[in-house]
Structure 1
Amino acid sequence: MKFKMQDKQNQLIERISDKHLVVGIDIAQLTHVARAVNYRGIVVGDPLSFENNEDGFAKLLDWINKLKNVKGLDTAIVGMEPTGHYWLNLSQWLYDRNIDVVTVNPHLVKKIKENRDNTQSKSDKKDALVIADMVKNGYYSFIRPTTEAFEKLRVLMSNRDVIVKRHVSTSNQIHRWVDIIFPELRQVFKDVTCKGAIVTLRLFPTPKELRSMEAIDIVTGWRTEMKRQPGIKKAEALIKLAKNSVGNDKAHDAYKLHLKQLLEEFDLATSQLEIVDKEVSEALGSITFTEKLLSIKGLTIVMLGGILGENGDLSQFAHGNSLLRHAGLHLVEASSGKWKGQIVISKRGRSRLRRFLYLATMCLVMNNPEFREIHAHNVKVKKMKKMKSIMKLIGKFARMIVGIARHNEPYCAEKVHPLAPLAA
């Protein structure tokens, strides 16, 4: 079945009847502004400014009910921009009171702000009116309410991104410290953030300390921190390299303090990642179709947690193409007359979701036999560029996981349509 986006657009327009009060809200940190129109776009009532608290929300609801009574309208629909996190509490408060809440694309608000007055002027009142016009014309998306598990995944994966950035930043700084103070350490430990190297940096970090030590003392120190420690030969090599090190030997105490703080930050980020990954695994366990999705060889818990955290319930999507559009991975082109522009992905969607879909597909290409075979066929037989093949496989992956979630069926390798083995 072909998925037609125009059908969805028509349905959104048809939902706005002559009995609707359409409200647009410009979201801010402290004070929001609301404007209202009817289904034809005629302004209803005066603008309303209200605070971002319970009293302000009650003031908005009272304003909406009065306008409905004055104009003889039956229902209201409230649109807002999903700017930052300031809109979340208001949208949930209205949703709990059975008021339809929708979001509009902030990029479109900026694009069409000149429709009413043909000027580049911008204000909170004007933005609220632009949002109301967009909702009236069907340019909106419904907010999908999520269960506790999906909300937990969203928070955990967002937190995980922050921890990973700190972890990578700290690792890079440790690499820099080693390059300045003890570059020869890499001849003993290829990775200066492996357990052996970290323990060495923690116990005897500088060449100045190592020069006065015996090999057996170093091995004894390793045994206090590691169950499986390097041997005596590595300890002897470490001392020999320290005696001939070209590293900086000035400001010894200051560099030691710097390294101590870096290692504390590294240990903290490492332990936090372990805790978050454990929580993500537990949250996934409470979702019905998780086990079936994880049966796809190559799909990891972190990748699936990121996808579900950004999307919510995949079974609520009508088609895999809806997931691609949600991520900003649908194709767009600019053509006119005889001129045909290049087809590219829109990137109008959730950037974090795009990243997880891309990384998950790359994992499948490396570890899943069916995806690896299709990618090889695309590159060698169809002569596609590698990235074009990956983008095509992202679409296949999106449609596959939505289908599994909607029908609650296990992964079937035969349905992926693996191709005949390539000739040698």
Structure 2
Amino acid sequence: MNTVVYSTFNHIQGKIGSRWAQLVRETGSENILLVAIDAAKYTPKAIIATFFGDILVKPFDIDSSTSGFNKLKKLVESIKEKNGLSQVVVGIETTGHYYEHLVFKCHLEGYHVRTVNAATTAKEREALLNWSKTDNLDLMAIIQSVIHGRGTSNELPSGNIVQLRKLTRARRELVAERTKTKNLVLMHMDHIFREYQGKTVWVNGKRGFSKPFSDVFGKASRYLMRNHPHPEDILVLGKKGLRELSIRENLKIREETINILIDFAEGSISLSKEQVDADIYLLIQKLDRLEFLDNQIKALEAKIEDLFVVMEGAVILSVQGIGLVTGAELIAEMGDISDFDQAGQLIKLAGTNPIVKQSGGHRPAYYGVSKQGRRPFRNIVYQVGKSLAVNNPEMHQRYLRLKERGKHPREAYIALGNRMIRLAFSMIRNQTFYQTKDEHYVLLEEINKKIRKSNVQKFFETHVSPTVCAS
């Protein structure tokens, strides 16, 4: 058996690599039946082969239901018995989310499942010098990927981890939608009141910039955009009307802001109110949508908090610069760390490991990050590093040292994010809190800043002592 090659991947894949090498070694490659499945929404396709690539059953279709899986299972068991094979290994390409139910069903049948990403199968097709892409070629690429040990055999995340991952990814989608909605609001305001977001002003011959609101989406600004968006509306209200409106609606509009609004409205180049009626109508729609998204995100964050505070990964909330959302996202994307022997394997999973090239006796050259891992994981690693660079005193000093060495801010953020992965890996495995030399650091104060008071006690009961009082 050629099992030596698989052990070389162990340092990359962690325990999942070791398990695959052990499976091949203990079972014997001649006793393994390979099944490749190209997942799809309606009609998945499968092929059955030996570990040496000999096709036993040509590509065939199954439907995405119990009857389709039973057809596959009946055929697999028949071939397995006929050829005297002892182990079934199923390779499935991770297409969207359609592969997940197939993975679950295969695990229930006791099959060993290897998941293969699309980039891996693309490389296999490229190695065959074939630029075509068909379902049959995809199946052969999956077979070759499994034979070469390129898939991963970890089970799908389950329990709180999978729930947290779904919630945090849903929040990220809503945040992206909110950003898009805000941009549309600004676009409509450009048509309605061109100067509302600010304009260039000249003071003593020098160019400057003036704007009525520091936050165009603050409470006062949103009220005006919804009820008095046009320069004509501002002029009708006048200074007195704006002051009375501010008091009546508790908008806390400053006198300086009122003066700027009146000045900008008097000199506005915007079209008349009748000519931008459609924009005003659409603006109100977008503001309604924005309010709806704000409420959804707020509710989702509360749900994330309630779930996260009792998970073992919540200990990273003790780190300065790691808030509820960033902490929950990081833990959700890390998943179950028991599948890994060291933090470096998680860094590779994120694709934030540096590319190193070395040949002969030359010194190694370091390039950008590999980007070969999961994009959502890589995104949160960057965001975590960025937050630490600003909000964590010790990490901020490290960030400055990286900058002094000529690192671009993006590179420094990734470096700090990778460091946080290592720190989180250790903290979760040992269930310890953040250790800092900051004499002003108090754990209770740090946790109080990040989660609701109702959850602070729950956090301390879970991670410190069941009898602790956090009040």
Interval containing the TM-score (normalised by the shorter chain): 0.7 to 0.9
Q: Which residue of 2 aligns with 1:419?
A: none
Q: Which moved more, 1:343-352 or 1:239-248?
A: 239-248
1:32 aligns to 2:44 (yes or no):
yes
Contact 1:189 1:197 in 2 (8 A): yes
1:5 aligns to 2:7 (yes or no): no
Q: Distance in 1 between matches of 2:14 and 2:175?
A: 41
The separation in 2 between residues aligned to 1:221 and 1:55, in whole angstroms, is 66
2:284 is aligned with 1:273: no
Q: Secondary structure at the match of 2:114?
A: strand
- Alignment equivalent of 1:248, drawn from 260, 263, 271: 271
Q: Which residue of structure 1 aligns with residue 370 of structure 2?
A: 346
**Partner Cα separation in structure 2 for residue 209 and residue 350 of structure 1:** 50
| Residue 295 in structure 1 maps to residue 357 in structure 2 | no
**What is the Cα deviation at residue 134 of structure 1?**
1.7
Offset of residue 10 of structure 1: 6.5
1:58 is matched with: 70
Q: CA–CA distance in 2 between the matches of 1:152 and 1:223?
A: 45
The verdict on how the C-alpha distance between 1:241 and 1:151 changes in structure 2, with shifts beyond 3 A counting, is: same
Q: Is 1:82 the equivalent of 2:89? A: no
- Change over 3 Å in CA distance of 1:260–1:115 after alignment to 2: closer
Matched, 1:113 2:125: yes
Q: Which runs of 5+ in 2 are unaligned?
A: 1-9, 199-210, 438-471
Report the CA distance between 1:37 and its aligned residue: 2.2
**Identity over aligned residues, as a percent?**
24
- In structure 2, relative to structure 1, the CA distance for the partners of 1:46 and 1:61 (3 Å cut) is same
Tell which deviates more after alignment, 153-162 or 69-78. Answer: 153-162
In the alignment, residue 167 of structure 2 is paired with which amino acid? L
Give distance in 1, aligned partners of 2:331 and 2:39.
27
Q: Secondary structure at the match of 1:140?
A: coil
Q: Establish whether residue 146 from structure 1 lines up as the match of residue 153 from structure 2.
A: no
Instruction: Provide, for residues 329-379 of structure 1, a one-character-per-residue CA deviation record: whole Å limited to 9, x for no partner.
Output: 122244555787653311011111111111101111211122122222333
What is the DSSP-based 3-state SS (H/G/I as helix, E as strand, rest coil) of the residue aligned with 2:125?
coil
> Are 1:71 and 2:71 matched, yes or no?
no
Whether 2:281 is the aligned partner of 1:257: answer yes
Work out whether 1:391 is the aligned partner of 2:414.
yes
- Tell me the TM-score normalized by structure 2: 0.79
Paired residue for 2:143? Answer: 132
User: 1:384–1:163: structure 2 CA closer, same or farther, 3 Å change rule?
Assistant: closer
Please show how residues 18-417 of structure 1 align to structure 2 within 5 Å. 18-113=30-125, 119-185=130-196, 186=198, 187-223=211-247, 225-226=249-250, 228-230=251-253, 234-235=257-258, 238-249=261-272, 251-290=275-314, 292-336=315-359, 342-380=366-404, 382=405, 384-413=407-436
Supply the RMSD in Å over aligned alpha carbons: 2.7
Contact 1:307 1:356 in 2 (8 A): yes
Structure 1 pair 233–49 and aligned structure 2 pair: CA distance change class (3 A) = closer
Distance 1:121 1:259 in 2: 47
2:313 and 2:290 map into 1 onto residues whose CA distance is: 35
Scaled by the length of structure 1, the TM-score of the pair is 0.87
Distance (whole Å) between structure 2 residues aligned to residue 212 and residue 386 of structure 1: 48
